[in-house]
Amino acid sequence: MLAFQYIDDDESLSALVAQYRKSPLLVLDTEFVRTRTFYARLGLIQAYDGKTLALIDPVAVSDLSEFWCLLQAPNMTTILHSCSEDLEVFAHNGQCQPAKLFDSQIAAALCGFGHGLGYAKLVEQTLDIPLDKGESRTDWIKRPLSEAQLHYAANDVYYLFELYPQLVEKLEQQNRMEWVFEEGERMTQGRLSPPDLDLAYLRVKNAFQLSPTQLAYLKVLATWRLSKAVSRDLAVGFVVKDHALIGLAKKQPKSITELYKMIELTEQEKRVHGKDLIALLATADLDNLPKAIDILALKTGYKSAFKTIKQCLTDISEQHDVPIELLGSKRHIHEYLEWQWGDKTGAIPLLLCGWRKGLVSVPLAALSI
């Protein structure tokens, strides 16, 4: 059984942070619950520097500010596995991001273990140790946590520290260590910015179906929904669902009577938000209409160009032993085509940045698309 410290008061946390400051490496993981909430509810933080494994109880500790400052130390490498959701937790709870991030899932992909490996699979491949994932559905907010739950959580950082040297050795052999840190820096960018309320309408499913006038209505509805979701810490779908917003933008009911006839809204949505929705629709700015959403994938030649680029990137991924999903995903190819066909204006696509640029820029430039 792994030995660990359970940190549930401010004084113990201060002592722990003072120790961790002396270490160049810190392995982290978080356990959280997200069902109906906009933000994940943080239930536990696991940390290990190779000497002290600690389980930090954010429910009991009143002030985590010292710990959040620790993550931002420029001389500290923070090691996480598949860390997108952890970064979201850090941004919301600590208003911070790790200064130097090493994501072991990306590292594993870049040194030949395979793309998208889960933590247990990576431990099994590198250390030949099978992990029990039986506590993965734990309610991490509920107290007290059982010994089985705590040891499950401790395993998530202990073995990551143990396998880290293997990843580093392979990455250094291939001169790819900086690639991992580059990916880490990219993943942390923009995390501390608040949600852009004005652009919320672009994330509503099937918004591309709407005319500019309908988009003007959708814009005020989506802005209102996101604002309410953030203020109430409620997932946007539990405020009003996407298809209801689309229906409102298309039909633009002028009265409660008209709104109650709509089949796109649930009875609860009508009852709770009906008056607000009618009032919101009346505020749509019809003098400054949003642009129609241009669906690049519907343009003539898109499928052919996409296929050509995908084949080019597949050849490069095989040549350099980099998973195609990491080198150039569907989103990356779409972003590149959008830039290429948009007279190369706007932000340079990811395919032409950093380590990817050195692999793909010349072959992509030679394509006729």
296-365 belongs to which homologous superfamily?
HRDC domain (1.10.150.80)
Domain 197-281: give its CATH code: 1.10.150.80
Residue 295 has pLDDT above 90, yes or no: no
The yes-or-no answer on residue 152 being catalytic is yes
The yes-or-no answer on residue 29 being catalytic is yes
> Phi first, then psi: what are they for 285, rounded to 5°?
-85, 95
pLDDT of residue 136: 67
Model confidence at 294, pLDDT cuts 50, 70, 90, reads: confident
Q: For 201-226, what is each residue's pLDDT tens digit?
A: 999 999 999 999 999 999 999 999 99
Average pLDDT for the chain: 96
Q: Which CATH code of 3.30.360.10, 3.20.20.120, 3.30.420.10, 1.10.1740.10 fits the domain covering 5-188? A: 3.30.420.10
pLDDT of residue 33: 95
Catalytic residue among 20, 31, 183, 217: 31
The yes-or-no answer on residue 164 being catalytic is no
Residue linked to tokens 């988009």: 215
Exposed/middle/buried for 25, CB within 10 Å: 0-12, 13-18, 19+? Answer: middle
Catalytic residue among 20, 29, 183, 336: 29
Residue 260 has pLDDT above 90, yes or no: yes
Catalytic residue among 48, 119, 152, 158: 152
For the chain, what percent of residues have pLDDT higher than 70? 99
Q: For 51-94, what is each residue's pLDDT tens digit?
A: 999 999 999 999 999 999 999 999 999 999 999 999 999 999 99
State how beta strands 53-56 and 41-48 pair.
antiparallel
Model confidence at 335, pLDDT cuts 50, 70, 90, reads: very high
Q: For 11-55, what is each residue's pLDDT tens digit?
A: 999 999 999 999 999 999 999 999 899 999 999 999 999 999 999
pLDDT of residue 39: 96
Q: For 165-181, what is each residue's pLDDT tens digit?
A: 999 999 999 999 999 99
Say if residues 19 and 171 touch (Cβ distance below 8 Å).
no
Catalytic residue among 57, 86, 269, 335: 86
As annotated, the residues of the chain forming the CATH 1.10.150.80 domain(s) are: 197-281, 296-365
Residue 135 has pLDDT above 80, yes or no: no
Q: For 87-116, what is each residue's pLDDT tens digit?
A: 999 999 999 999 999 999 999 999 999 999
As annotated, the residues of the chain forming the CATH 3.30.420.10 domain(s) are: 5-188
Catalytic residue among 156, 183, 269, 335: 156
Specify the DSSP class assigned to residue 203: G
Ranges 24-28, 201-205, 327-331, 340-344: which has the least confidence: 340-344
State how beta strands 25-33 and 77-80 pair.
parallel
